[in-house]
Protein backbone atom coordinates (compact mmCIF):
# COMPACT_ATOMS: atom_id res chain seq x y z
CA UNK A 1 0.00 0.00 0.00
CA UNK A 2 1.29 3.42 -0.97
CA UNK A 3 0.18 6.24 1.31
CA UNK A 4 0.31 9.80 0.03
CA UNK A 5 1.11 12.72 2.30
CA UNK A 6 -1.95 14.24 3.97
CA UNK A 7 -3.25 17.56 2.71
CA UNK A 8 -3.08 20.75 4.71
CA UNK A 9 -6.24 22.10 6.34
CA UNK A 10 -7.60 24.90 4.10
CA UNK A 11 -7.70 28.14 6.10
CA UNK A 12 -10.47 29.40 3.85
CA UNK A 13 -12.77 26.84 5.50
CA UNK A 14 -11.53 26.48 9.09
CA UNK A 15 -10.24 29.09 11.54
CA UNK A 16 -7.24 27.55 13.36
CA UNK A 17 -7.88 26.96 17.08
CA UNK A 18 -11.30 28.68 16.93
CA UNK A 19 -14.94 27.66 17.34
CA UNK A 20 -18.12 29.64 16.63
CA UNK A 21 -20.11 31.28 19.43
CA UNK A 22 -22.61 34.09 18.88
CA UNK A 23 -21.29 34.82 15.41
CA UNK A 24 -17.62 35.11 16.42
CA UNK A 25 -14.71 32.71 15.98
CA UNK A 26 -13.30 32.35 19.48
CA UNK A 27 -10.82 30.17 21.39
CA UNK A 28 -11.87 28.05 24.35
CA UNK A 29 -12.20 30.16 27.49
CA UNK A 30 -9.49 28.02 29.08
CA UNK A 31 -7.17 28.61 26.12
CA UNK A 32 -6.68 24.85 25.81
CA UNK A 33 -6.51 23.06 22.45
CA UNK A 34 -6.16 19.48 21.29
CA UNK A 35 -4.74 17.92 18.11
CA UNK A 36 -6.58 16.88 14.98
CA UNK A 37 -4.95 13.69 13.70
CA UNK A 38 -5.06 12.49 10.10
CA UNK A 39 -6.11 8.82 10.45
CA UNK A 40 -4.43 8.03 7.15
CA UNK A 41 -0.98 8.91 8.49
CA UNK A 42 -1.32 9.26 12.27
CA UNK A 43 0.11 12.78 12.01
CA UNK A 44 -1.22 15.94 13.65
CA UNK A 45 -2.59 18.36 11.03
CA UNK A 46 -3.94 21.20 13.18
CA UNK A 47 -5.35 22.00 16.62
CA UNK A 48 -8.86 22.99 17.71
CA UNK A 49 -10.28 24.38 20.96
CA UNK A 50 -10.76 22.13 23.98
CA UNK A 51 -14.12 23.50 25.10
CA UNK A 52 -15.65 22.82 28.49
CA UNK A 53 -18.86 23.47 30.44
CA UNK A 54 -18.17 27.22 30.56
CA UNK A 55 -17.99 27.40 26.76
CA UNK A 56 -21.18 25.36 26.49
CA UNK A 57 -22.95 27.75 28.83
CA UNK A 58 -21.80 30.74 26.76
CA UNK A 59 -22.98 29.08 23.55
CA UNK A 60 -26.35 28.06 25.00
CA UNK A 61 -26.95 31.57 26.30
CA UNK A 62 -26.13 32.94 22.85
CA UNK A 63 -28.59 30.51 21.25
CA UNK A 64 -31.26 31.41 23.80
CA UNK A 65 -30.84 35.14 23.13
CA UNK A 66 -31.06 34.54 19.40
CA UNK A 67 -34.24 32.54 19.91
CA UNK A 68 -35.92 35.01 22.26
CA UNK A 69 -34.96 37.96 20.06
CA UNK A 70 -36.44 36.10 17.07
CA UNK A 71 -33.34 36.64 14.95
CA UNK A 72 -34.31 33.57 12.94
CA UNK A 73 -38.06 33.11 13.49
CA UNK A 74 -38.55 36.84 12.95
CA UNK A 75 -37.71 36.22 9.31
CA UNK A 76 -40.56 34.94 7.16
CA UNK A 77 -40.64 31.23 6.46
CA UNK A 78 -39.97 32.01 2.80
CA UNK A 79 -36.88 34.02 3.74
CA UNK A 80 -35.59 31.18 5.91
CA UNK A 81 -36.16 28.78 3.01
CA UNK A 82 -34.07 30.99 0.73
CA UNK A 83 -31.23 31.03 3.27
CA UNK A 84 -31.27 27.23 3.62
CA UNK A 85 -31.23 26.82 -0.14
CA UNK A 86 -28.30 29.24 -0.29
CA UNK A 87 -26.46 26.96 2.16
CA UNK A 88 -26.88 24.08 -0.26
CA UNK A 89 -25.52 26.22 -3.11
CA UNK A 90 -22.46 27.16 -1.05
CA UNK A 91 -21.84 23.52 -0.15
CA UNK A 92 -22.00 22.62 -3.81
CA UNK A 93 -19.70 25.48 -4.80
CA UNK A 94 -17.06 24.39 -2.26
CA UNK A 95 -17.54 20.67 -2.90
CA UNK A 96 -13.94 19.88 -3.83
CA UNK A 97 -12.45 21.57 -0.77
CA UNK A 98 -15.06 20.16 1.59
CA UNK A 99 -14.68 16.61 0.28
CA UNK A 100 -10.90 16.75 0.75
CA UNK A 101 -11.37 18.20 4.23
CA UNK A 102 -13.80 15.41 5.16
CA UNK A 103 -11.37 12.85 3.76
CA UNK A 104 -8.50 14.34 5.75
CA UNK A 105 -10.54 14.40 8.96
CA UNK A 106 -12.20 10.97 8.75
CA UNK A 107 -10.01 9.04 6.30
CA UNK A 108 -12.69 8.09 3.79
CA UNK A 109 -11.75 8.16 0.10
CA UNK A 110 -12.44 11.51 -1.55
CA UNK A 111 -15.09 10.09 -3.95
CA UNK A 112 -17.00 8.71 -0.95
CA UNK A 113 -16.72 12.09 0.76
CA UNK A 114 -18.11 13.73 -2.39
CA UNK A 115 -21.08 11.38 -2.22
CA UNK A 116 -21.69 12.29 1.40
CA UNK A 117 -21.43 15.96 0.53
CA UNK A 118 -24.07 15.46 -2.14
CA UNK A 119 -26.41 14.09 0.52
CA UNK A 120 -25.73 17.12 2.72
CA UNK A 121 -26.67 19.38 -0.22
CA UNK A 122 -29.88 17.36 -0.68
CA UNK A 123 -30.73 17.67 3.01
CA UNK A 124 -30.56 21.47 3.01
CA UNK A 125 -32.58 21.67 -0.21
CA UNK A 126 -35.18 19.21 1.07
CA UNK A 127 -35.74 21.05 4.34
CA UNK A 128 -35.59 24.44 2.62
CA UNK A 129 -38.70 23.20 0.84
CA UNK A 130 -40.34 22.36 4.15
CA UNK A 131 -39.62 25.70 5.85
CA UNK A 132 -42.76 27.44 4.54
CA UNK A 133 -45.01 24.38 4.78
CA UNK A 134 -45.13 23.99 8.55
CA UNK A 135 -48.75 24.38 9.58
CA UNK A 136 -51.36 23.00 11.93
CA UNK A 137 -55.01 22.04 11.53
CA UNK A 138 -58.43 23.37 12.41
CA UNK A 139 -61.54 21.60 13.65
CA UNK A 140 -64.94 22.54 15.10
CA UNK A 141 -65.65 20.82 18.39
CA UNK A 142 -68.19 20.89 21.20
CA UNK A 143 -71.99 20.42 21.36
CA UNK A 144 -74.34 22.23 18.98
CA UNK A 145 -75.32 24.82 21.55
CA UNK A 146 -71.72 25.62 22.53
CA UNK A 147 -69.51 25.47 19.44
CA UNK A 148 -65.76 25.71 19.74
CA UNK A 149 -63.12 26.32 17.09
CA UNK A 150 -59.93 24.38 17.65
CA UNK A 151 -56.69 25.11 15.82
CA UNK A 152 -53.19 23.75 16.23
CA UNK A 153 -49.92 25.60 15.78
CA UNK A 154 -46.57 24.00 15.00
CA UNK A 155 -43.79 25.89 16.78
CA UNK A 156 -40.02 25.41 17.12
CA UNK A 157 -39.02 23.52 20.23
CA UNK A 158 -36.44 26.24 21.12
CA UNK A 159 -32.72 25.71 21.69
CA UNK A 160 -31.50 22.41 20.24
CA UNK A 161 -28.27 20.72 21.26
CA UNK A 162 -26.91 18.68 18.35
CA UNK A 163 -24.25 16.06 19.15
CA UNK A 164 -22.67 14.67 15.98
CA UNK A 165 -20.79 11.41 15.38
CA UNK A 166 -17.37 11.15 13.73
CA UNK A 167 -17.94 8.63 10.96
CA UNK A 168 -19.59 10.97 8.41
CA UNK A 169 -19.65 14.43 9.97
CA UNK A 170 -20.92 16.50 7.03
CA UNK A 171 -24.02 14.45 6.45
CA UNK A 172 -24.43 13.78 10.18
CA UNK A 173 -24.57 17.45 11.12
CA UNK A 174 -26.73 18.28 8.10
CA UNK A 175 -29.29 15.65 9.14
CA UNK A 176 -29.73 17.64 12.35
CA UNK A 177 -29.10 21.26 11.37
CA UNK A 178 -31.24 21.37 8.24
CA UNK A 179 -34.52 20.29 9.91
CA UNK A 180 -33.76 22.17 13.13
CA UNK A 181 -33.29 25.41 11.19
CA UNK A 182 -36.30 24.74 8.96
CA UNK A 183 -38.37 24.34 12.15
CA UNK A 184 -37.08 27.67 13.50
CA UNK A 185 -34.81 26.41 16.29
CA UNK A 186 -31.51 27.89 17.36
CA UNK A 187 -28.69 25.42 17.87
CA UNK A 188 -25.52 24.50 19.71
CA UNK A 189 -23.49 21.86 17.88
CA UNK A 190 -20.98 19.53 19.51
CA UNK A 191 -18.91 17.72 16.85
CA UNK A 192 -17.04 14.56 17.71
CA UNK A 193 -13.54 15.19 19.05
CA UNK A 194 -12.38 12.66 16.44
CA UNK A 195 -13.68 14.70 13.48
CA UNK A 196 -14.65 18.36 13.90
CA UNK A 197 -13.13 20.12 10.87
CA UNK A 198 -15.92 19.72 8.32
CA UNK A 199 -18.55 20.68 10.90
CA UNK A 200 -16.66 23.89 11.62
CA UNK A 201 -16.42 24.53 7.88
CA UNK A 202 -20.15 24.01 7.40
CA UNK A 203 -21.22 26.43 10.12
CA UNK A 204 -18.98 29.07 8.57
CA UNK A 205 -20.93 28.64 5.36
CA UNK A 206 -24.18 29.06 7.30
CA UNK A 207 -23.07 32.52 8.34
CA UNK A 208 -22.09 33.31 4.77
CA UNK A 209 -25.52 32.17 3.58
CA UNK A 210 -27.29 34.57 5.92
CA UNK A 211 -28.09 32.59 9.06
CA UNK A 212 -28.06 35.30 11.78
CA UNK A 213 -25.38 35.42 14.45
CA UNK A 214 -26.06 33.25 17.48
CA UNK A 215 -28.55 31.02 15.69
CA UNK A 216 -25.93 28.28 15.21
CA UNK A 217 -23.01 27.87 17.60
CA UNK A 218 -20.29 25.21 17.78
CA UNK A 219 -18.32 24.04 20.82
CA UNK A 220 -15.50 21.58 20.11
CA UNK A 221 -14.02 19.29 22.71
CA UNK A 222 -14.32 15.89 24.35
CA UNK A 223 -17.04 14.12 26.34
CA UNK A 224 -17.55 16.81 29.01
CA UNK A 225 -18.80 19.19 26.29
CA UNK A 226 -21.54 16.78 25.26
CA UNK A 227 -22.40 16.05 28.90
CA UNK A 228 -22.72 19.76 29.68
CA UNK A 229 -24.92 20.29 26.63
CA UNK A 230 -27.17 17.34 27.48
CA UNK A 231 -27.65 18.49 31.08
CA UNK A 232 -27.98 22.24 30.47
CA UNK A 233 -31.32 23.52 31.77
CA UNK A 234 -31.68 26.08 28.98
CA UNK A 235 -31.47 23.47 26.21
CA UNK A 236 -34.94 22.32 25.12
CA UNK A 237 -33.98 19.39 22.90
CA UNK A 238 -30.97 17.17 22.25
CA UNK A 239 -30.34 15.16 19.11
CA UNK A 240 -27.52 12.65 19.51
CA UNK A 241 -25.89 10.17 17.15
CA UNK A 242 -23.44 7.71 18.64
CA UNK A 243 -23.14 4.56 20.69
CA UNK A 244 -25.95 3.07 22.74
CA UNK A 245 -23.81 3.31 25.89
CA UNK A 246 -23.35 7.06 25.50
CA UNK A 247 -27.01 7.43 24.46
CA UNK A 248 -28.06 6.05 27.83
CA UNK A 249 -25.89 8.65 29.55
CA UNK A 250 -27.56 11.36 27.44
CA UNK A 251 -30.96 10.14 28.68
CA UNK A 252 -29.81 10.44 32.29
CA UNK A 253 -28.29 13.88 31.74
CA UNK A 254 -31.44 15.16 30.03
CA UNK A 255 -33.69 14.22 32.94
CA UNK A 256 -33.07 17.46 34.84
CA UNK A 257 -35.44 19.58 32.74
CA UNK A 258 -37.02 16.66 30.82
CA UNK A 259 -35.68 17.96 27.53
CA UNK A 260 -36.86 16.25 24.38
CA UNK A 261 -34.51 13.65 22.91
CA UNK A 262 -33.88 11.98 19.60
CA UNK A 263 -31.20 9.30 19.58
CA UNK A 264 -29.69 7.38 16.68
CA UNK A 265 -27.62 4.73 18.39
CA UNK A 266 -25.85 1.47 17.69
CA UNK A 267 -26.71 -1.18 15.14
CA UNK A 268 -26.00 -4.82 14.38
CA UNK A 269 -27.88 -5.09 11.13
CA UNK A 270 -28.80 -8.50 9.68
CA UNK A 271 -28.43 -9.39 6.00
CA UNK A 272 -30.71 -12.35 5.16
CA UNK A 273 -29.94 -14.24 1.94
CA UNK A 274 -32.62 -16.72 0.89
CA UNK A 275 -31.81 -19.72 -1.36
CA UNK A 276 -33.41 -18.25 -4.50
CA UNK A 277 -31.42 -14.97 -4.33
CA UNK A 278 -29.48 -13.70 -7.34
CA UNK A 279 -25.88 -14.23 -6.21
CA UNK A 280 -24.53 -11.90 -8.88
CA UNK A 281 -26.38 -9.10 -7.06
CA UNK A 282 -25.99 -10.47 -3.53
CA UNK A 283 -22.21 -10.66 -3.39
CA UNK A 284 -21.35 -7.05 -4.36
CA UNK A 285 -24.43 -5.79 -2.51
CA UNK A 286 -23.46 -7.50 0.74
CA UNK A 287 -19.87 -6.27 0.37
CA UNK A 288 -21.05 -2.69 -0.16
CA UNK A 289 -23.35 -3.01 2.83
CA UNK A 290 -20.50 -3.83 5.22
CA UNK A 291 -17.26 -2.46 3.78
CA UNK A 292 -18.31 1.02 2.65
CA UNK A 293 -16.51 3.67 4.77
CA UNK A 294 -14.47 0.81 6.25
CA UNK A 295 -17.56 -0.47 8.03
CA UNK A 296 -17.83 2.70 10.08
CA UNK A 297 -21.55 3.18 9.45
CA UNK A 298 -24.21 2.43 12.06
CA UNK A 299 -26.49 0.74 9.51
CA UNK A 300 -23.75 -1.52 8.09
CA UNK A 301 -24.87 -5.09 7.40
CA UNK A 302 -22.60 -6.83 9.89
CA UNK A 303 -24.46 -10.14 10.39
CA UNK A 304 -24.67 -12.25 7.22
CA UNK A 305 -27.38 -14.92 7.56
CA UNK A 306 -27.31 -17.27 4.55
CA UNK A 307 -29.39 -20.33 3.71
CA UNK A 308 -27.29 -23.49 4.00
CA UNK A 309 -27.84 -24.42 0.34
CA UNK A 310 -25.84 -21.40 -0.84
CA UNK A 311 -23.84 -20.57 2.30
CA UNK A 312 -20.35 -21.49 1.07
CA UNK A 313 -20.90 -19.82 -2.33
CA UNK A 314 -22.00 -16.53 -0.75
CA UNK A 315 -19.31 -16.48 1.93
CA UNK A 316 -16.56 -17.27 -0.57
CA UNK A 317 -17.90 -14.76 -3.08
CA UNK A 318 -18.04 -11.92 -0.53
CA UNK A 319 -14.56 -12.87 0.71
CA UNK A 320 -13.13 -12.70 -2.81
CA UNK A 321 -14.84 -9.36 -3.38
CA UNK A 322 -13.38 -8.07 -0.09
CA UNK A 323 -9.87 -9.25 -0.92
CA UNK A 324 -9.99 -7.32 -4.21
CA UNK A 325 -10.81 -3.99 -2.55
CA UNK A 326 -8.01 -1.42 -2.62
CA UNK A 327 -6.95 0.02 0.73
CA UNK A 328 -5.16 3.36 0.85
CA UNK A 329 -5.03 7.04 1.64
CA UNK A 330 -8.18 9.01 0.87
CA UNK A 331 -6.74 11.03 -2.02
CA UNK A 332 -5.04 8.06 -3.67
CA UNK A 333 -6.59 7.06 -7.00
CA UNK A 334 -8.90 4.08 -7.05
CA UNK A 335 -9.03 3.57 -3.28
CA UNK A 336 -12.05 1.65 -1.97
CA UNK A 337 -11.31 1.66 1.78
CA UNK A 338 -9.57 4.25 3.89
CA UNK A 339 -8.33 3.89 7.47
CA UNK A 340 -10.25 3.50 10.69
CA UNK A 341 -10.61 6.69 12.70
CA UNK A 342 -7.94 6.11 15.39
CA UNK A 343 -5.46 3.71 16.91
CA UNK A 344 -7.88 3.04 19.76
CA UNK A 345 -10.62 2.09 17.34
CA UNK A 346 -8.23 -0.07 15.30
CA UNK A 347 -7.34 -1.98 18.45
CA UNK A 348 -11.04 -2.38 19.29
CA UNK A 349 -11.94 -3.77 15.86
CA UNK A 350 -9.00 -6.19 15.92
CA UNK A 351 -10.03 -7.32 19.39
CA UNK A 352 -13.49 -8.32 18.16
CA UNK A 353 -12.00 -10.45 15.39
CA UNK A 354 -9.59 -12.10 17.80
CA UNK A 355 -12.46 -12.90 20.18
CA UNK A 356 -14.45 -14.52 17.36
CA UNK A 357 -11.53 -16.75 16.38
CA UNK A 358 -10.96 -17.70 20.02
CA UNK A 359 -14.64 -18.73 20.25
CA UNK A 360 -14.41 -21.02 17.21
CA UNK A 361 -15.11 -18.95 14.10
CA UNK A 362 -12.75 -18.98 11.12
CA UNK A 363 -11.31 -16.16 9.05
CA UNK A 364 -12.01 -16.52 5.34
CA UNK A 365 -10.21 -13.31 4.40
CA UNK A 366 -8.61 -10.36 6.15
CA UNK A 367 -8.19 -10.11 9.88
CA UNK A 368 -5.00 -8.03 10.04
CA UNK A 369 -3.76 -4.47 10.23
CA UNK A 370 -2.32 -3.04 7.02
CA UNK A 371 1.04 -1.25 7.31
CA UNK A 372 2.37 0.55 10.37
CA UNK A 373 1.45 4.14 9.50
CA UNK A 374 -2.15 5.23 9.77
CA UNK A 375 -4.98 3.02 11.04
CA UNK A 376 -5.75 0.65 8.17
CA UNK A 377 -7.47 -2.72 8.67
CA UNK A 378 -8.25 -5.37 6.08
CA UNK A 379 -11.85 -6.02 5.05
CA UNK A 380 -12.59 -9.19 6.97
CA UNK A 381 -15.04 -12.06 6.52
CA UNK A 382 -15.45 -14.44 9.45
CA UNK A 383 -17.39 -17.66 8.77
CA UNK A 384 -19.10 -20.23 10.98
CA UNK A 385 -19.86 -17.65 13.63
CA UNK A 386 -22.39 -18.36 16.34
CA UNK A 387 -25.19 -16.01 17.46
CA UNK A 388 -23.82 -16.12 21.01
CA UNK A 389 -20.38 -14.78 20.05
CA UNK A 390 -19.36 -11.32 21.21
CA UNK A 391 -18.46 -10.29 17.64
CA UNK A 392 -22.02 -11.16 16.56
CA UNK A 393 -23.81 -9.55 19.49
CA UNK A 394 -21.87 -6.28 19.89
CA UNK A 395 -21.39 -3.42 17.45
CA UNK A 396 -17.90 -3.56 15.92
CA UNK A 397 -18.11 -0.46 13.69
CA UNK A 398 -15.43 -1.70 11.36
CA UNK A 399 -14.96 -3.73 8.14
CA UNK A 400 -15.82 -7.08 9.73
CA UNK A 401 -18.60 -9.40 8.54
CA UNK A 402 -19.73 -12.42 10.55
CA UNK A 403 -21.48 -15.18 8.56
CA UNK A 404 -23.98 -17.70 9.98
CA UNK A 405 -25.92 -20.40 8.09
CA UNK A 406 -29.66 -21.03 8.56
CA UNK A 407 -32.08 -23.74 7.44
CA UNK A 408 -35.42 -21.96 7.01
CA UNK A 409 -36.94 -18.48 6.98
CA UNK A 410 -38.32 -18.73 10.51
CA UNK A 411 -34.86 -19.51 11.88
CA UNK A 412 -33.36 -16.58 9.95
CA UNK A 413 -35.95 -14.14 11.27
CA UNK A 414 -35.45 -15.39 14.82
CA UNK A 415 -31.66 -14.93 14.59
CA UNK A 416 -32.06 -11.51 12.96
CA UNK A 417 -34.30 -10.31 15.79
CA UNK A 418 -32.13 -11.86 18.52
CA UNK A 419 -30.32 -8.62 19.30
CA UNK A 420 -30.70 -5.54 21.47
CA UNK A 421 -30.40 -3.43 18.32
CA UNK A 422 -32.87 -2.64 15.55
CA UNK A 423 -31.51 -0.03 13.18
CA UNK A 424 -31.41 -1.58 9.69
CA UNK A 425 -31.34 -4.81 7.72
CA UNK A 426 -31.85 -6.34 4.29
CA UNK A 427 -33.49 -9.33 2.65
CA UNK A 428 -32.24 -10.89 -0.60
CA UNK A 429 -34.63 -13.02 -2.66
CA UNK A 430 -36.37 -13.17 -6.05
CA UNK A 431 -39.73 -13.72 -4.28
CA UNK A 432 -41.06 -10.25 -3.54
CA UNK A 433 -43.97 -11.55 -1.45
CA UNK A 434 -41.59 -13.47 0.80
CA UNK A 435 -39.32 -10.43 1.00
CA UNK A 436 -42.12 -8.21 2.27
CA UNK A 437 -43.31 -10.89 4.69
CA UNK A 438 -39.83 -11.11 6.19
CA UNK A 439 -39.46 -7.32 6.23
CA UNK A 440 -42.66 -7.00 8.30
CA UNK A 441 -41.34 -9.51 10.83
CA UNK A 442 -37.98 -7.83 11.37
CA UNK A 443 -37.83 -5.49 14.38
CA UNK A 444 -35.76 -2.79 12.78
CA UNK A 445 -36.21 0.75 11.49
CA UNK A 446 -35.09 0.30 7.87
CA UNK A 447 -35.20 -2.74 5.60
CA UNK A 448 -33.72 -3.06 2.13
CA UNK A 449 -35.05 -5.61 -0.33
CA UNK A 450 -32.26 -6.77 -2.65
CA UNK A 451 -30.25 -3.74 -1.52
CA UNK A 452 -28.63 -2.81 1.78
CA UNK A 453 -27.06 0.63 1.48
CA UNK A 454 -30.07 2.62 0.30
CA UNK A 455 -32.36 5.44 1.28
CA UNK A 456 -32.37 9.19 0.80
CA UNK A 457 -33.36 12.40 2.50
CA UNK A 458 -37.05 11.62 2.01
CA UNK A 459 -36.89 8.32 3.95
CA UNK A 460 -36.88 8.38 7.75
CA UNK A 461 -33.93 6.77 9.55
CA UNK A 462 -34.02 5.51 13.10
CA UNK A 463 -34.11 2.47 15.31
CA UNK A 464 -36.19 0.02 17.28
CA UNK A 465 -35.15 -1.19 20.72
CA UNK A 466 -31.72 0.05 21.85
CA UNK A 467 -30.94 1.58 18.46
CA UNK A 468 -32.62 4.78 19.55
CA UNK A 469 -35.61 7.09 19.77
CA UNK A 470 -37.16 9.20 17.04
CA UNK A 471 -36.33 9.58 13.37
CA UNK A 472 -34.10 11.67 11.12
CA UNK A 473 -34.81 12.55 7.47
CA UNK A 474 -38.21 12.95 5.85
CA UNK A 475 -41.13 14.82 7.45
CA UNK A 476 -40.54 12.79 10.61
CA UNK A 477 -37.12 14.42 10.96
CA UNK A 478 -38.74 17.87 10.97
CA UNK A 479 -41.30 16.85 13.59
CA UNK A 480 -38.48 16.15 16.06
CA UNK A 481 -37.84 19.91 16.29
CA UNK A 482 -41.46 21.06 16.58
CA UNK A 483 -43.97 21.48 19.40
CA UNK A 484 -47.75 21.29 18.85
CA UNK A 485 -49.90 23.94 20.53
CA UNK A 486 -53.70 23.74 20.70
CA UNK A 487 -55.76 26.97 20.68
CA UNK A 488 -59.51 26.75 21.36
CA UNK A 489 -62.00 29.62 20.77
CA UNK A 490 -65.60 29.73 21.96
CA UNK A 491 -67.76 30.55 18.93
CA UNK A 492 -71.30 30.55 20.38
CA UNK A 493 -72.66 31.37 23.79
Give, rounded to a whole angstrom, the gap between the first and last alpha carbons of the chain: 83
Cα gap 219→229, rounded to integer Å: 10
Catalytic residue among 102, 193, 264, 480: 264
Cα gap 51→33, rounded to integer Å: 8
Q: Which of 404, 487, 416, 422 minimizes the C-alpha distance to 461?
A: 422
Cα gap 201→142, rounded to integer Å: 54
Cα gap 328→403, rounded to integer Å: 26
Cα gap 228→254, rounded to integer Å: 10
Annotated catalytic, 264? yes
Catalytic residues: 264
Amino acid sequence: MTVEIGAAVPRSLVEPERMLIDGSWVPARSGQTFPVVDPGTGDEVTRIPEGDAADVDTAVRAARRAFEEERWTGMSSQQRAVVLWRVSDLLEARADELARLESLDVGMPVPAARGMLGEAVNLFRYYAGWADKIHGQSVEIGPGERRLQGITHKEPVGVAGLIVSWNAPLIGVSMKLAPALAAGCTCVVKPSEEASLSVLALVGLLLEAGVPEGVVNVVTGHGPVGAALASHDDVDKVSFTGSTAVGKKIVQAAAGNLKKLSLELGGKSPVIVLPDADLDAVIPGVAAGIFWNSGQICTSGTRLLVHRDIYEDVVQGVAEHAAALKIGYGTESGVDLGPLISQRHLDRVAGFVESGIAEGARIVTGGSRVGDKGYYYEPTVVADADPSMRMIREEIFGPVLGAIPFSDVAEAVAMANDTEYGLAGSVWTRDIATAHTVARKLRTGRIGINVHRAGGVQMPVGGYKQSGWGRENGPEGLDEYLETKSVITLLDR
